[in-house]
Amino acid sequence: MDNTSSASDFLLLEFSAVRELQILHFLLFLILYLAIVLGNLIIISAVIFDDHLHTPMYFFLMNLAIQDLGSVSTIIPKSMGNSFTNTRNISYSGCVAQVFCFVFFVGSDFFLLTVMAYDRYVAICNPLQYEVLMNRQACTQMVLCVWLSGIFYGAMHTTSTFAVPFCSNVVNQFYCEIPQLIKLCCSDSYLAEIAILAISAMIQLGCFIFIIITYVLIFTAVLRIPSIHGRQKAFATCLPHLIVFSTFIFTGWFAYLKPPSNTPSGLDLALTMIYTFIPPLLNPVIYSMRNKEIKVALAKLLLSACSSMETYFKFIMSK
């Protein structure tokens, strides 16, 4: 491939050259994708259609579900399509769009998880001031800042990654991952993106420290709750949040900050699968499916849908 950044396409990682294994990969990714889409769409629908869920916590959960849907929809369908059609290609513009959208959604996801930690801190440690501090205007401004930060984050990384020429078009990953693209650069200009990655890691570290401090204060307050049931409920809400966030950030850091290998690595693939798929898959379960209010809202939504279908069929039969 010529030393130019105007290449027509890139070649993504092929899971297997065996046709049967390609179809298996397609089916496994399809099941995974449908599970993620279904879980997050359920949350979005429940929050939108149930007035009782129009609270800050569920407003943040709905945005988290949208971000999770966006991040997996950016990379999984293309990988499935390549396996099904037995190709490895992604266009240059498609690769640019994939980098921007993925970094945008994952970056905004990271910042939203930080906001959600603050929301839980106020709810548990300062409940009397919760409605004042987390009013509708404040929540809207927080979420707007989260999305705008994600756009800036995505634009910054995409611009610095594709501003340099590439000496190869073979990407050792199943999507256009920044560390794998940096490895293809011809000049030292890629150092600018490495510097941006380092700055991003420091920002994320600051957010992570903020979240840790927040949860230390939360757990301290929880231990003072006289009710055992109250303590269990608070821990059940906060501990999964911290576990998923820690998994997300540590695997992402390791994947992006470690020196990329010159050959496809099982470790690189495993880390990418963890930080891209596990949080969107577990977030609906951890944050919502174990939540009584969400279950009630889903039951109402299901009954309403069944009632509407019954009315529709009666109308059709009357014709």
Domain extents for the chain?
A: 9-290
Give the tens place of pLDDT for each residue, 10-44: 999 888 888 899 999 999 999 999 999 998 998 89
- How far is CA 37 from each of CA 40, 206, 242, rounded to the nearest angstrom? 5, 31, 23
HEC states along 113-156? HHHHHHHHHHHHHCHHHHHHHCCHHHHHHHHHHHHHHHHHHHHH
- How far is CA 151 from each of CA 97, 105, 160, rounded to the nearest angstrom? 12, 8, 14
% of the chain at pLDDT higher than 90: 35
Give the tens place of pLDDT for each residue, 131-169: 999 999 999 999 999 999 999 999 999 998 898 888 889
What's the pLDDT at 97?
96
Give the tens place of pLDDT for each residue, 256-294: 777 766 666 677 888 888 888 988 988 888 776 556 777
310's tokens: 């019954």
pTM: 0.87
What's the pLDDT at 145?
95
pLDDT bucket at 76, cuts 50 / 70 / 90: very high
What's the pLDDT at 2?
42
Name the CATH superfamily for 9-290: Rhodopsin 7-helix transmembrane proteins (1.20.1070.10)
Give the tens place of pLDDT for each residue, 228-246: 776 776 676 677 777 778 8
Alpha helices in the chain (DSSP H): 19-49, 56-85, 92-125, 130-133, 136-162, 178-182, 191-223, 228-257, 266-283, 292-318
